[in-house]
Amino acid sequence: MTKYDAIVIGAGQAGNPLSQKLADQGWNVALIESDQVGGTCVNTGCTPTKTMVASAQIAHYVRNAMKWGIHTTGMRVDLAAIVARKERMVLDFRGGQERKISARPRLRFYRARARFIAPHQLSVDGEILESERIFIDTGMRVAIPKIDGLHKVDYLTNATAMELREIPRHLLILGAGYIGLEFGQMFRRFGSEVTIVEHADRIIAHEDSDVSSELRKILEDEGIRFVMGASANRVAKREDRLQLDLEAAGRRSTIEGTHLLIATGRRPNTDDLGVEHAGLALDDHGYIEVNGRLETNVPGVWALGDVKGGPAFTHISFNDYQVVYGNLIEGKNLSIEHRLVPYSVFTDPELGRVGMTEAEARADGQRLKIGKIPMSRVSRALERDETAGFMKIVIDAAEDRILGAALLCTDGGELVQILGAVMMAGAPYTLLKGAVYIHPTLAEGFWTLMEDVKPVP
């Protein structure tokens, strides 16, 4: 048996920096990873997808260059070259993290699967490791739906879709969430025909209806087809095509494509962790239950990142590390309760979101003011000829505080963080009415947005 001051399970965006910082404190730390260093973000999530999305945006610009008075000839998408660039980026990011681990003599790396055999003991590749402090950052994986015939066909996930070297002729996508929309637009811009099937009646259904409707219109204008309110019942291979049987409102139909991408959700990696031997409490979906300080029901065991449930974003995982490290080492009293979570859907235009939606604020019984302007009222958007989408802000009418915002516009993910900073400061939205903005910038649109704020019934 080998004892450590701390054991970290999972080398993702919470476990990786936490293990390194604890080692820097002089702790003897074990870092256990069954797959690749960097977790989902570096290997199959943020880094590779946004690298390929950037290539898709360039393809879109070149294909539509005449819009800006530029003539091009011989435009061709080389998917193999795009994938090679993506792989170089992933290897560079992963290699940097691996070097940081290797540089710490007090940090021992195990490339193996960990399984609890007791509350503070783990079986790792035939060796028993023990520690009074264990941190779980095992993340999530694709949840494969139960569809008749699915196991008999070569379906794609977000990871395997980025390994294709040839552009799909017709990509069918199950799921109109973040992954389905980002991949759908990306492959459409590469040249694929794209059909997205969604069981709800609108895309990104947790957003306000005006946001989902506007984004759907933008994507449809690029040629993406949506089949809404439909469930997939069966899939079969028919020569060089896949046949997908759907049911919607009691009616059955069939669509065909050459490739099928599963983007219907993800599940936590807890089913083979031996949580029953540790006595860890899971919720109905298999996520590890934690309190505001990310402590589990087992003293000395914490859960960080996606495996604990809640918003599944890389920046949340990293903030989880900051919370745990701040409390454990720096004597702080940090909590994840009531923290402000900005996020972005990396379509083009981006959807930058922070705080409450209008629907959530209304359900909360708040008196509201709302401002909403189309991007055609922002000078910089007009000059760039990128006026799709809008800016929307939701205000607490009693105190003029910003409750939330949705920026469906070019660089929406960047812009929304300005509003997030104002929310963190507890300042009223009127602060932005008197701000001096650089002209012409997209952020300058905030002045017009704040001028549009008015009470709503």
- How would DSSP label each residue in 379-433? HHHHHHT---SEEEEEEETTTTEEEEEEEEETTHHHHHHHHHHHHHHT-BGGGGT
- pLDDT tens digits, one per residue of 192-202: 999 999 999 99
Q: Are residues 193 and 160 in the same domain?
A: yes
In this structure, the answer to whether residues 135 and 271 fall within a common structural domain is yes
Whether 289 is in a domain gets the answer yes
Residue 136 lies in a domain: yes
Whether residues 7 and 129 fall in one domain: yes
Domain that holds residue 406: 343-455
Select from 325, 290, 328 the least CA-distant residue to 307: 290
> Based on the domain organization, do 370 and 395 belong to the same domain?
yes
Q: Is 210 inside any structural domain? A: yes
**Residue 145 falls within a domain, yes or no?**
no
- The last residue of one of the domains, among 217, 233, 264, is 264
* Within a domain: 336: no
**What are the DSSP E strand ranges found in 335-381?**
343-345, 350-355, 368-374
- Looking at the fold, whether 190 and 253 belong to one and the same domain comes out as yes
How many independent structural domains does the chain possess?
A: 3
Residues 28 and 119 in one domain: yes
286/241 same-domain check: no
Active site residue 60: no
Q: What is the pLDDT along the chain (457 residues), one digit of tens a residue?
A: 999 999 999 999 999 999 999 999 999 999 999 999 999 999 999 999 999 999 999 999 999 999 999 999 999 999 999 999 999 999 999 999 999 999 999 999 999 999 999 999 999 999 999 999 999 999 999 999 999 999 999 999 999 999 999 999 999 999 999 999 999 999 999 999 999 999 999 999 999 999 999 999 999 999 999 999 999 999 999 988 999 999 998 899 999 999 999 999 999 999 999 999 999 999 999 999 999 999 999 999 999 999 999 999 999 999 999 999 999 999 999 999 999 999 999 999 999 999 999 999 999 998 999 999 999 999 999 999 999 999 999 999 999 999 999 999 999 999 999 999 999 999 999 999 999 999 999 999 999 999 999 999 9
Whether residues 362 and 449 fall in one domain: yes
Of 264, 282, 302, the residue that ends a domain is: 264
Residues 87 and 163 in one domain: no
Task: Say if 322 falls within a structural domain.
Answer: yes
Q: Are residues 227 and 302 in the same domain?
A: no
Q: What is the pLDDT of residue 249?
A: 86
Instruction: For residues 239 and 324, state if they share a domain.
Output: no
- Of 245, 264, 283, the last residue of a domain is 264
Q: For residue 174, what is the enclosing H or E element?
A: strand 170-174
Instruction: Tally Cβ neighbours within 10 Å of residue 374.
Output: 15
170-174 and 259-262 strand pairing: parallel
Task: Specify the CATH number for the domain of residue 284.
Answer: 3.50.50.60
For residue 346, the model assigns a pLDDT of: 98
Answer yes or no: are the C-beta atoms of 422 and 402 closer than 8 Å.
yes
Looking at residue 287, what DSSP letter applies? P
Q: What type of residue sits at position 419?
A: L
In a domain, 333, yes or no: no
Given this model, what pLDDT does residue 223 score? 98
Note the pLDDT of residue 71: 94
Q: What is the pLDDT of residue 206?
A: 95
Among the listed residues 120, 277, 338, 439, the single catalytic one is 439
Q: Is 334 inside any structural domain? A: no
CA pair distance 72, 414, nearest whole angstrom: 30
